[in-house]
Amino acid sequence: MTHWTISVIHGDGIGKEVCAEGVKLMEAVAARCNHTLSFHEYLAGGAAIDETGVPLPDETVAGVLASDALLFGAIGGPKWENQPQHLKPEAGLLKLRKELGAFANLRPALVYDELADASTLKREVVQGTDIMVVRELTGGLYFGEPRGVEGQGASRKGYNTMVYSAEEIERIARVGFQTAMARDKRLCSVDKANVLDVSQLWRDIVIEVSKDFPEVALSHMYVDNCAMQLIRDPKQFDVIVTGNIFGDIISDEASQLTGSIGMLASASVGGPVGFFEPIHGSAPDIAGQGIANPLAMIGSVEMLFRYGLKQNTEADMINAAVRKTLADGLRCGDIMQEGCTKLSTSEMGAAVIERL
């Protein structure tokens, strides 16, 4: 029997609704496997701005750092869109990633056979797709200095800097290779080395690191080609490793192979405490209606057990329950298909727990 302390950040929009299902699932899994959990809630994003004036209070960072893992809902919404950049909800999320040292973001895009028709692409193209995007999360264009907007009138200019040190590239490349070693041993490094200097360094370092992983078949692809190949023939990919901005874009694209962004989980690891969040965001258009798909959150709980608490049995148990739920024809609105039963957020959460 083990005890874990879990931080929970609901955030904004559907974050609260899906987090509730994540917590119920964790409790159910812990009860079945004789673990105990305590949950501590913290503020971030718009909810934190409303209560404290900042998107990431110090108390949140301290609390999360003292816990074993963080379950994160989603942040953002139209209410805070006109805040200055550093006081937007998104700034809180970026700061949290940085403070937690969570430099490696794992985003699996797995097409369940049952949902192969839910994608806008043809079944024969997507069926069998199983990709892991490893996105660098605390560097690159998102954090590079200098950045800003200056000047007046027509000569006003805005700029950001895409910068990676050899050290940053090496550590994310290692996560890419290690991830590939635990899967099909194929790694595709995505860059823009034909144009960007920072990408040429990226490529050189990835090649150096590959010498430590002779069993992994390494390939390189330019990001524009990757965007095309992902929808042309997604099955050619096993693990993709890439920088922050390219990974942001490529992972949204990969999500559509699976039928809905409401299916995609993520893990942000590399620092002392991992954090686990669905990639769908706060979806203000459907917030509060109880119709959001909690499967991305449920997948995030699976990743929390696997990568955060290092409990594969529990993670496998959740995965099997999700497969069973889909096989039984249960769906939320975003993945609804003819002949299936449409469930609300909490009904879907309960259906998965029933099948544990």
Active site members: 142, 192, 224, 248, 252
Nearer to Mg ion, 26 or 296 (CB): 296
**56, 269, 279, 286: residue in contact with ligand IPM (rule CB under 6 A):** 279
Q: Binding to Mg ion by residue 248, rule CB under 5 A?
A: yes
Nearer to ligand IPM, 93 or 303 (CB): 93
Q: Binding to ligand IPM by residue 136, rule CB under 6 A?
A: no
Residue 161 amino acid letter: T
Residue 56: CB minimum distance to ligand IPM, A: 12
Q: HEC states along the chain?
A: CCEEEEEEEEECCCHHHHHHHHHHHHHHHHHHCCCEEEEEECCCCHHHHHHHCCCCCHHHHHHHHCCCEEEEEECCCHHHCCCCHHHCHHHHHHHHHHHCCCCEEEEEEECCHHHCCCCCCCHHHHCCCEEEEEEECCCHHHCCCCCEEECCHHHCEEECCCCCCHHHHHHHHHHHHHHHHCCCCEEEEEECCCCCHHHHHHHHHHHHHHCCCCCCEEEEEEHHHHHHHHHHCHHHCCEEEECHHHHHHHHHHHHHHCCCHHHCEEEEECCCCEEEEECCCCCCCCCCCCCCCCHHHHHHHHHHHHHHCCCHHHHHHHHHHHHHHHHCCEECHHHCCCCCEECCHHHHHHHHHHCC
Residues in the interface with ligand IPM (CB under 6 A) total 5
Residue 135: CB minimum distance to Mg ion, A: 9
Considering only residues 57-86, where is the footprint of ligand IPM by CB under 6 A? 76
> Residue 93 binds what, of Mg ion, ligand IPM, none (CB under 5 to 8 Å, by partner type)?
ligand IPM
Phi and psi at residue 214, to the nearest 5°: -60, -20
Q: Binding to ligand IPM by residue 267, rule CB under 6 A?
A: no
**25, 44, 47, 93: residue in contact with ligand IPM (rule CB under 6 A):** 93
Which region among 95-103, 159-167, 241-249, 270-278 touches Mg ion (by CB under 5 A)? Answer: 241-249
Using alpha carbons only, give the angle 161, 238, 229 rounded to the nearest 5 degrees.
65
Q: Binding to ligand IPM by residue 248, rule CB under 6 A?
A: yes
Nearer to Mg ion, 168 or 248 (CB): 248
Considering only residues 143-162, where is the footprint of ligand IPM by CB under 6 A? none
Q: Binding to ligand IPM by residue 90, rule CB under 6 A?
A: yes
Nearer to ligand IPM, 64 or 330 (CB): 64
Nearer to ligand IPM, 103 or 213 (CB): 103
Residue 93: CB minimum distance to ligand IPM, A: 5
Residue 252: CB minimum distance to Mg ion, A: 5
Measured between alpha carbons, how far is 323 from 253 in angstroms, rounded to an integer?
A: 23
Nearer to ligand IPM, 76 or 108 (CB): 76
Q: Binding to Mg ion by residue 68, rule CB under 5 A?
A: no
Residue 277: CB minimum distance to ligand IPM, A: 7
Q: Binding to ligand IPM by residue 99, rule CB under 6 A?
A: no
Residues contacting 125, CB < 8 A, separation 6+:
231, 232, 233, 234
Upper half-sphere CA count for residue 198 (Cβ side, 13 Å): 17
Draw the binding track, 287-326, toward ligand IPM (x: CB under 6 A; -: no contact): ----------------------------------------
Contacting positions for ligand IPM (CB under 6 A) = 76, 90, 93, 248, 279
Residues in the site for Mg ion, rule: CB under 5 A?
248
